[in-house]
Structure 1
Amino acid sequence: MNTIRNIFIGCIAIITLNSCENDATITSYRGKVKFETISISSKLPGRITKIYVEEGQEVKKGDTLAFIDIPEVRAKITQADGAIKAAKGQLDMAYNGATNDQLNQINGQINASQAQLEFAQESFKRMQAMYQDSLISQQQFDEVKMKLAMAKAQVEALEAKRNEATNGARSEQIDQAKGQLDRAMGAREEVLSASHEKYIIAPTDMSVETISLTEGELLTPGYTLFHGYEKSSVYFRFTVPESKVYDFEVGKTLRLVNPYTQAELDAKIVAIKQLAKYADITSTAPLYELGESIYELKIVPTTKPADQLFYLNATILIKE
């Protein structure tokens, strides 16, 4: 009986020791490796014609990642070219005035209008005499009078048009034509700028972690096609409770160590911020006091760790 009791007590002791050892490894000085994330999308909708990279591939700034077919760009360039031609024609007409054929056409309209005016005047004279003799009504006389006024107005309008064509366009019309041309040129530049969006370009040296779509699929504006990390932007994040945060301050230099390779590097704290309320200590973290707030340390290397290899979310420790 004593033997069984001793064995039971020994087992309890072993379990307790193992539990203590596991707790000892959970410290407030354990952090994670992080990289600046990069999300690449398109400004315009289009169909993915070609993807030139694969997940996990390292790319350089300026490398072409994908080609997007945007049919609307070709149509808009054609429209913009047509608008430019029309605007140039309006501006040339404003500068040069009317052509001889246009002047001849206006003169012909004036001659026809003058003939109508002469006929209206003769009709008015006859109707006026008949009205004075009470042979026609007041309404009939008013109708003839109105037709005469309309004929005069038409002749005056055509003569004004001929004078404008002869003397050239007003400065306001020239400015208007220039504005239309500038707007058409701007629209074409906008389309040409959009045409460059057919090529998805790497904005910096990065590693491609995920590719959201495949060739042949439709890419909508703002949808992330490539997601990756800027490997040269390594930094570290540590979370500490409020009882430990006073051991740190912004600008403080620390010595970090990789627990697996034992490689060390110098780094400094660049930011300390409180995490959201949901990150407060609970009963699932037995090493800390309940209700303690959690703070996050952002730590960056003071020298470029070119000879060290880091993986996202790998563990890093503060050397005490």
Structure 2
Amino acid sequence: MKKSLASLCIVSILFIFSACQSSDLDYYTGSVESDSYSVSTEVGGIIEEIYVKEGDTVKKGDKLARINVDSLRLELGRLQAQSGASKAALDKTFKGSRSEEIEKARIQVNQQETVVSSNQQDYNYRLENHNTIAQLYESDAASEQSLKDSKAVLDAASSKLESSRQQLAYLREQLQLVQNGSTKEDIDISKSNLDAAQWSIKSLEDNIAKEFVYANSDGVIESLNYLGGEYAPIFTRIANINNLSNLWVKIYVEEKNLGNVKLGKEVTMDAGLDGADSIKGKVVYIASEGEFTPKNIESKENKQEIVYEVKIKVLDHIDAVKPGVLVDVYLGDSK
């Protein structure tokens, strides 16, 4: 009788131990996480104002900060003036020269023709004089120095005449240009200058419109990385937003226990918080490839074990649990 009683006790103890061990394998601990969004500047400058503080709840599109863009506005004014000048130049190339400009060019040609005529007469006189002295020199009636002097005067008159002729040719070309109007190349250059100025204006206007930094998600301001008055470079992260409407718990399940986990399976979690001792969750992600136990959760016994990342979406008590809270997850059948 005593022997039978002892055997029964041993069997009972083994059963209880086995049940406890099996139950322990169904429990995992993970921390609550959420979608986190980085908010960055789209233009560099001094932060003039910050409209929120850490912990504030925001909606997507809310203003978070304002960047000083005064220097961009000054540059915009300069480019607008340049664009106006480019447009006036383009209009002029299309319309052609004014009658006053044509008349001015014609007068300059007439004046230069008079100069050329006078220089031609002076050259003719100097040539005739030089020829006379040359004949006298041949008959020993004039000195060699007189001949050289007349030749020097003739060369100067010739150079003066040629220079005036070249100036006349240039002025006639200018008159022809203003009479004919602008060439296709002139018009294309003017159009290109105007297009470049207008593109620069549009680019600056777009940057000026980015002076306000907006929330890119609903959520809570987790951190602010700059203070008012500090310089924030372009594309620098100035804030982080946690979207607390989408919370999940990440755990790592051993390969041998992966059969207990199915996508869509509802599980029970416990955060040890008042009013949130039983939290519903649903498995929404199971890694397709295993990995060694992450260092932040490994122990001496399991550091060489292959585990699979599992994410469990929090379905209720969202207001009670916060990112970073440790949660026990029960993967067994509903109790």
Give the TM interval when normalised to the shorter protein.
Answer: 0.7 to 0.9
Alpha-carbon distance between aligned partners in 1 of 2:258 and 2:122, rounded to the nearest angstrom: 108
Alignment partner for residue 204 of structure 1, among 217, 220, 224?
A: 217
Shift of 1:174: 1.6
Alpha-carbon distance between aligned partners in 1 of 2:316 and 2:88, rounded to the nearest angstrom: 62
8 Å contact from structure 1 (residues 255, 318) kept in 2: no
> Which deviations, in whole Å up to 9, do the C-alpha atoms of 1:2-23 show, x marking residues without a partner?
xxxxxxxxxxxxxxxxxxx9xx
Alignment partner for residue 165 of structure 2, among 152, 167, 170?
A: 152
Alpha-carbon distance between aligned partners in 2 of 1:263 and 1:104, rounded to the nearest angstrom: 94
Distance 1:206 1:154, change over 3 A: farther
DSSP 3-state at the match of 2:102: helix
> Which deviations, in whole Å up to 9, do the C-alpha atoms of 1:142-190 show, x marking residues without a partner?
6654543333232222222222222221122222212221221111111
Alpha-carbon distance between aligned partners in 2 of 1:143 and 1:236, rounded to the nearest angstrom: 101
8 Å contact from structure 1 (residues 42, 219) kept in 2: yes
Residue matched to 1:252: 263
Structure having the higher Rg: 2
Shift of 1:208: 0.8
Residue matched to 1:91: 90
Residue matched to 2:242: 229
Residue matched to 2:200: 187
1:42-57 correspondence runs (5 A): 42-57=41-56
> Which deviations, in whole Å up to 9, do the C-alpha atoms of 1:246-276 show, x marking residues without a partner?
5488x8333333312211122321644566x
Alpha-carbon distance between aligned partners in 2 of 1:99 and 1:158, rounded to the nearest angstrom: 17
Alignment partner for residue 171 of structure 1, among 167, 184, 189?
A: 184
Alpha-carbon distance between aligned partners in 2 of 1:278 and 1:125, rounded to the nearest angstrom: 109
Alignment partner for residue 266 of structure 1, among 282, 286, 289?
A: 282
> Which deviations, in whole Å up to 9, do the C-alpha atoms of 1:33-57 show, x marking residues without a partner?
2222211122322222221112111
Residue matched to 1:122: 121
Give the partner amino acid of 1:87: S
Alpha-carbon distance between aligned partners in 2 of 1:101 and 1:186, rounded to the nearest angstrom: 34
Alpha-carbon distance between aligned partners in 2 of 1:148 and 1:300, rounded to the nearest angstrom: 99
DSSP 3-state at the match of 2:267: strand
Matched, 1:287 2:301: yes
Residue matched to 2:331: 319
Shift of 1:193: 0.7
Q: Which stretch of structure 1 is more off in the superposition, 92-101 or 252-261?
A: 252-261
Distance 1:235 1:218, change over 3 A: same
Alpha-carbon distance between aligned partners in 2 of 1:112 and 1:293, rounded to the nearest angstrom: 100
Matched, 1:308 2:322: no
Matched, 1:215 2:231: no
Residue matched to 2:109: 110
Structure 2, unpaired ranges of 5+: 1-19, 135-146
The alignment covers a number of residue pairs equal to 290
Distance 1:106 1:230, change over 3 A: farther
DSSP 3-state at the match of 2:97: coil
Alpha-carbon distance between aligned partners in 1 of 2:246 and 2:223, rounded to the nearest angstrom: 18
Q: Which stretch of structure 1 is more off in the superposition, 304-313 or 101-110?
A: 304-313
Alpha-carbon distance between aligned partners in 2 of 1:203 and 1:213, rounded to the nearest angstrom: 18
Matched, 1:29 2:28: yes
Shift of 1:127: 4.8
8 Å contact from structure 2 (residues 50, 66) kept in 1: yes
Give the partner amino acid of 2:304: G
8 Å contact from structure 2 (residues 37, 240) kept in 1: yes
Give the partner amino acid of 1:264: K
Alpha-carbon distance between aligned partners in 2 of 1:252 and 1:146, rounded to the nearest angstrom: 101
Give the partner amino acid of 2:331: K
Alpha-carbon distance between aligned partners in 1 of 2:163 and 2:34, rounded to the nearest angstrom: 81
Structure 1, unpaired ranges of 5+: 1-20
Distance 1:172 1:235, change over 3 A: farther
Q: Percent same amino acid at aligned positions?
A: 19
Distance 1:252 1:157, change over 3 A: same
8 Å contact from structure 1 (residues 280, 293) kept in 2: no
Alpha-carbon distance between aligned partners in 2 of 1:278 and 1:232, rounded to the nearest angstrom: 29
Distance 1:145 1:227, change over 3 A: farther
